[in-house]
Amino acid sequence: MKSPQAIEALGALANEHRLAIYRLLVQAGPEGRPAGAIADKLDMPASSLSFHLAHLTRAGLIEQRRESRSLIYSADFAVMNGLVGFLTENCCGGSACAPAASAKRKAS
Amino acid sequence: MKSPQAIEALGALANEHRLAIYRLLVQAGPEGRPAGAIADKLDMPASSLSFHLAHLTRAGLIEQRRESRSLIYSADFAVMNGLVGFLTENCCGGSACAPAASAKRKAS
DNA sequence: GCATCAGTTCGATGATACTGGAAATATCGA
DNA sequence: TCGATATTTCCAGTATCATCGAACTGATGC
């Protein structure tokens, strides 16, 4: 991942509503959720939701697919992984630095 | 990590200069770097740098310590790890989802 | 105490982002 | 084709953020 792309992704996540949307989609997994269900769950106006979904999509964090009348959104996990890798790149000058690089993740 | 804290951290990183500063400090490791050296390396006015450093500090991503006349800044890796954990929390509803949670990191 | 050096705070300006109702677009069933 | 449903686009008003010179603060050495 390159710097501009990382900034785009970070900026997209740096908002209360978009972060909630993204986490909802992360938890929903690959099957995703239709826009209406998201608006319903997070209780926000359709136009605002659409604005935020477009923002996340532009950043590459989520993907859109149509299913009949509904637009289904789902998280693109590869981008998040790329982002994390970018942020910790060359951590501690390349020398071993367990505390940072071997972060415990809820990888179940 | 809680949502407001995550938003703060993401917002802090979602800027060209701050991202560059943070990555510089990540690469510098625990010993960190004095503000002057950062300003020098990234070629930015002292006041602008100070603004960004304060932003990153407020978000908890970096720490400050004084060493004689210099203020040394260093990355706080624990916060980044918390952030990553928060973003991937309950990924795919808790079921195994290798593509997301087992991200390959340059953990050397 | 005074000069000097390292950084921070202040303040005004310009740019960018968020919000949400109304109107437009796309899909479907009859 | 028409009406209903799902969602996006448009728009303008408000709010928040970034910039950087100048003035300020804190630490050091003589």
State pLDDT tens for residues A61-72.
999 999 999 999
d(CA A71, CA A67) in angstroms, rounded, equals: 6
d(CA B69, CA B3) in angstroms, rounded, equals: 36
More confident of the two residues B93 and A2: A2
For residues A79-107, average pLDDT:
69
Determine the distance between A27 (CA) and C2 (C1') in angstroms.
64
- B45 by Cβ neighbours in 10 Å (0-12 / 13-18 / 19+) ranks as exposed
Q: Which window residues (26-85, chain B) lie with Cβ within 7 Å of strand C?
A: 34-37, 39, 46-47, 49-51, 53-54, 64, 69-71
The pTM (predicted TM-score) of the whole model is 0.87
Crossing angle, helix A77-87 and helix B77-87, to 10 degrees?
180
Phi, psi values for residue A84, rounded to 5°: -60, -40
Question: Does residue B106 register a pLDDT over 60?
Answer: no
CA distance from start to end of chain B: 26
Q: Is there a contact between B93 and A30 if contact means CB atoms under 8 Å apart?
A: no
Of A29-33, A43-47, A90-94, least confident by mean pLDDT is A90-94
Give me the percent of chain A exceeding a pLDDT of 90. 75
Crossing angle, helix A77-87 and helix A3-13, to 10 degrees?
110
Q: Which nucleotides of C are covered by protein (CB under 7 A)?
A: 5-11, 17-23, 26-28
Region at A93 (left for phi over 0; alpha for psi -120 to 50; beta for the rest): left
The reply to whether B46 has its C-beta less than 7 Å from any atom of strand D is yes
The reply to whether B27 has its C-beta less than 7 Å from any atom of strand D is no
Within 8 A by CB and 6+ apart from B8, the residues are: B58, B59, B60
Question: Does residue B18 register a pLDDT over 60?
Answer: yes
B52 nearest nucleotide via C1' and CA? D18
Question: Does residue B54 register a pLDDT over 70?
Answer: yes
SS (H, E, C) B9-69: HHHHHCCHHHHHHHHHHHHHHHHCEEHHHHHHHHCCCHHHHHHHHHHHHHCCCEEEEEECC
- Contact between B26 and A88 (Cβ < 8 Å): yes
Residue closest to B10 by CA, chosen among A103, A8, A62 = A8
d(CA B50, CA B55) in angstroms, rounded, equals: 9
* pLDDT value for B19: 97
Q: Which window residues (44-63, chain A) lie with Cβ within 7 Å of strand D?
A: 46-47, 49-51, 53-54
pLDDT confidence tier of residue B38, bands split at 50, 70 and 90: very high
Q: Is there a contact between B81 and A89 if contact means CB atoms under 8 Å apart?
A: no
Q: Provide the edge-to-edge strand list for the sheet that holds A62-67.
A: A33-34, A70-75, A62-67
More confident of the two residues B97 and A11: A11
